[in-house]
Amino acid sequence: MAIESLPNPALPSRSGPSLGFLTATPIIALATICLTLVILSAIFAPWLTSHDPQLLAPALRLKPASSEYLLGTDAYGRDVLARILYGGRISLLIGLGAAVTSIVIGLFIGLFSGFFKLADAVMMRVMDGLMAMPGVLLAIAVVSLSGATLTTVLIAITIPEIPRVARLVRSVVLSAREEPYVEAAISLGSSMPKIMLKHLMPNTVAPLIVQGTFIAASAILTEAILSFLGAGISPETPTWGNIMAEGRAFFQVKPSLIFWPGLLLSIAILSVNLIGDAARDALDPRMKQREAGK
Amino acid sequence: MLGYLIRRILAAIPVMGVVALFVFLLLRLTPGDPAAIIAGDNATAEQLDRIRTQLGLNEPLYTQFFSWVWRLLHGDFGTSLISNVPVLQMVNQRIEPSLSIALSVMLVSILVAIPLGVIAAWKHGTWIDRFVMALSVIGFSVPVFVIGYVLVQVFAIELRWFPVQGFRSISRGFGPFFERITLPTVALSFVYVALIARMTRAAMLGVLGEDYVRTARAKGINESGVLFRHALRNAAVPVITVIGTGFALLISGVVVTESVFNLPGIGRLTVDAVLARDFPVIQAMILLTSGVYVGVNLLIDLAYALLDPRIRY
Q: Is the ipTM of this complex over 0.85?
A: no
Q: What is the largest CA-CA distance in chain B?
A: 82
Indicate if the pLDDT at residue A96 is higher than 90.
yes
pLDDT of residue A3: 46
Contacts of A133 (CB under 8 A, 6+ apart): A160, B19, B22, B23, B286, B289, B290, B293
Query: Above pLDDT 70, what percent of chain A?
Result: 88
Task: Compute the nearest-CA separation of A182 from chain B (Å).
Answer: 31
Name the minimum distance, in Å, from the CA of A136 to any CA of chain B.
6
Angle made by CA atoms B7, B11, B21, in degrees to the nearest 5 = 155
Angle at which helix B247-260 crosses helix B232-245, to 10 degrees, equals 60
Give the rounded percent of residues in chain A with a pLDDT score beyond 90.
Answer: 21
Amino acid A49: pLDDT: 77
d(CA B308, CA B310): 5
Cβ–Cβ gap B252/A130 under 8 Å: no
The verdict on a CB contact (< 8 Å) between B202 and A291 is: yes
Phi and psi for A73 in degrees, rounded to 5? -125, 160
For the ranges A226-240, B238-252, B297-311, which has the lowest average pLDDT?
Answer: B297-311
B153 contacts A225? CB cut-off 8 A? no
**Contacting residues of B for A141, CB less than 8 Å apart:** 26, 274, 282, 286
Q: B143 CA to chain A: closest CA distance, Å?
A: 7
CA distance A235 to chain B (A): 13
In this model, does residue A211 exceed pLDDT 70? Answer: yes
pLDDT at A292: 43
Per-residue pLDDT for B59 more than 50? yes
Q: Write out the DSSP string of A26-80.
A: HHHHHHHHHHHHHHHHHHTHHHH--S-TT---GGGTTPPP-SSSTT-B-TTS-BH
The H or E element containing residue B127 is: helix B127-141
The pLDDT confidence band at residue A13, using thresholds 50, 70 and 90, is very low
Segment B49-63 mean pLDDT:
78
Residue of A nearest to B141 (CA): A270
For the ranges A69-83, A226-240, B4-18, B140-154, the lowest mean pLDDT is seen at: A69-83
- At residue A287 the predicted structure's pLDDT band, cuts being 50, 70 and 90, is low
Name the residue facing A292 among B18, B157, B238 (closest C-beta).
Answer: B238
Q: Note the pLDDT of residue A286.
A: 59
A268, A88 Cβ separation under 8 angstroms? yes
With beta carbons under 8 A apart, name residues in chain A contacting B18.
125-126, 128-130, 132
A231/B274 touch (CB, cutoff 8 Å), yes or no: yes
The pLDDT assigned to B312 comes to 58
The residue in chain A having the minimum alpha-carbon distance to the alpha carbon of residue B138 is A270
- Name the band, by pLDDT with cuts 50, 70 and 90, for residue A7: very low
Residue A62 φ/ψ region, left for φ over 0, alpha for ψ in the -120 to 50 degree band, beta for the rest = left
Contacts of B91 (CB under 8 A, 6+ apart): B266, B269, B284, B285, B288
Q: What is the mean pLDDT of chain A?
A: 82
Among the residue ranges A9-18, A173-182, A221-230, B37-46, the one predicted with the least confidence is A9-18
Neighbour-count burial for B243-270, b at 16+ CB within 10 Å, e otherwise = bbbbbbbbbbbbbbbbbbbebbbbbbbb
Contact yes or no for B26 and A145 at CB 8 A: yes
Computed over every residue of chain B, the mean pLDDT equals 85
pLDDT of res. A6 = 47
Q: Residue B241: exposed, middle, or buried by beta-carbon count in 10 A (0-12, 13-18, 19+)?
A: middle
Residue A200 phi, psi dihedral angles, 5° rounding: -95, -45
Fold of A82-283: MetI-like fold (1.10.3720)
Contact A125 B14 (CB under 8 A): yes
Q: Which residues of B are less than 8 Å from A294 in CB distance? A: 238, 241
Contact B98, B181 (CB under 8 A): no
Q: How far is CA B93 from CA B80, B96, B223, in A?
A: 14, 8, 49
pLDDT at A294 over 50: no
How many other C-beta atoms can be found within 10 angstroms of the C-beta atom of residue A232? 29
Chain B residue numbers touching A274 (CB-CB < 8 A): 137
CA separation, residue A108 to residues A111, A164, A197, A209, A214 (Å): 5, 13, 10, 16, 19
- The alpha carbon of residue B55 is apart from the nearest alpha carbon of chain A, in Å, by 16
Distance CA B305, CA B1 (A): 8
Quote the longest CA-to-CA distance of chain A. 86
Residue B287 has pLDDT above 60, yes or no: yes
Do residue A129 and residue B18 have CB atoms under 8 angstroms apart?
yes
How many separate helices (H) and strands (E) can be counted in chain B?
14, 0
Say what percent of chain B tops pLDDT 90.
17
* Mutate: best of B25, B133, B146, partner A, most A CBs <10 A: B146
Q: Residue A102: what pLDDT?
A: 96
pLDDT at A65 over 50: yes
pLDDT surpasses 90 at A216: yes
Q: How many CB atoms lie within 10 A of CB A199?
A: 19
Query: Which chain A residue has its CA at the smallest distance from B21's CA?
Result: A129
pLDDT at A94 over 90: yes
What pLDDT is recorded for position A285?
60
Q: Which one of B51, B261, B266, B274 makes the best mutation probe of the A interface by having the most chain A beta carbons within 10 Å?
A: B274
What is the DSSP secondary structure assignment for residue B79, as one 8-state letter?
A: B
DSSP string, A123-190: HHHHHHHHHHS-HHHHHHHHHHHH---HHHHHHHHHGGGHHHHHHHHHHHHHHHTTSHHHHHHHHTT-
CB contact under 8 Å between A258 and B149, yes or no, is yes
Q: A269, B248: Cβ pair inside 8 Å?
A: no
Model confidence band, residue A122 (pLDDT cutoffs 50, 70, 90): confident
Max avg pLDDT among A106-115, A189-198, B272-281: A106-115
CA dihedral A178, A179, A181, A182 (to 10 degrees): -30
Measured between alpha carbons, how far is B278 from A268 in angstroms, rounded to an integer? 35
Inter-chain touch A129–B15, beta carbons under 8 Å: yes
* Cβ pair A231:B271 closer than 8 A: yes
Q: Return the residue in B82, B140, B285 with the most chain A beta carbons within 10 A, the one to mutate for interface testing.
A: B140
Of B206, B252, B259, the CB nearest to A292: B206
> How many A-B residue pairs are in contact by the CB < 8 A criterion?
143
Listed by start position, the domains of chain A span 82-283
Sorting pLDDT into bands at 50, 70 and 90, what band is B152?
confident
Which one has a higher pLDDT value, A289 or A138? A138
3-state secondary structure of B86: strand
Q: How far is B162 from chain A (nearest CA, A)?
A: 15
Which of A19-23, A70-74, B61-65 has the largest mean confidence? Answer: B61-65
CB contact under 8 A, B15 and A125: yes
pLDDT band of residue B164 (cuts 50, 70, 90) is: confident
**A140 pLDDT exceeds 60?**
yes
For residue B105, pLDDT over 90 is answered with yes
Region A207-220: mean pLDDT is 91
Q: What is the pLDDT of residue B185?
A: 92
| 3-class DSSP assignment, residue A194 | helix
* Rg of chain B, C-alpha, whole Å: 24
How close does chain B come to A166, measured CA to CA in Å?
A: 16
Mean pLDDT lowest for which of A156-170, B246-260, B299-313? B299-313
DSSP string, B135-183: HHHHHHHS-HHHHHHHHIIIIIIIS--S-SS----GGG-HHHHHHHHHH
Residue A169: pLDDT over 50:
yes
Task: Give the residue from A31, A156, A46 showing the smallest Cα distance to A94.
Answer: A156
A243, A152 in Cβ contact below 8 A?
A: no
- Residue burial B74-101, b: 16+ Cβ < 10 Å; e: rest: eeebbbbbeeeebbeebbeebebbbebb
Interchain proximity B252–A141, CB inside 8 Å: no
Highest mean pLDDT pick, B197-201, B274-278, B309-313: B197-201
Q: Do A133 and B286 touch (CB under 8 A)?
A: yes
Average confidence (pLDDT) over B239-245: 86
Min Cα–Cα distance to chain B from A31, Å = 12
pLDDT band at residue A195, thresholds of 50, 70 and 90?
A: confident
Contact criterion met (CB < 8 Å) for A273 and B17: no
Least confident of A15-29, A121-135, A149-163, B202-216: A15-29
Indicate yes or no: CB of B271 within 8 angstroms of CB of A228: no
DSSP A19: S
pLDDT for A104 beyond 90: yes
Q: Per-residue pLDDT for A290 more than 60? A: no
All residues of chain A having their beta carbon less than 8 Å from the beta carbon of residue B238 are 292-294
Of A61-75, A207-221, B197-211, the one with minimum mean pLDDT is A61-75
Interchain pair A263, B15: CB under 8 A? no
> What pLDDT was estimated at residue A11?
46
- Point out the residue among B30, B251, B259 whose CB comes nearest to the CB of A146: B30
8 Å CB contact of B153 and A224: no
pTM, two decimals, is 0.85
The predicted pLDDT at position A1 comes to: 41
For residues A249 and A235, what is the distance between their CA atoms, to the nearest angstrom? 14
pLDDT of residue B108: 94
According to the model, what pLDDT value does residue A9 have? 45
Find the range with the poorest average confidence among B30-39, B146-155, B156-165, B216-225: B30-39
Q: What is the pLDDT of residue A293?
A: 39
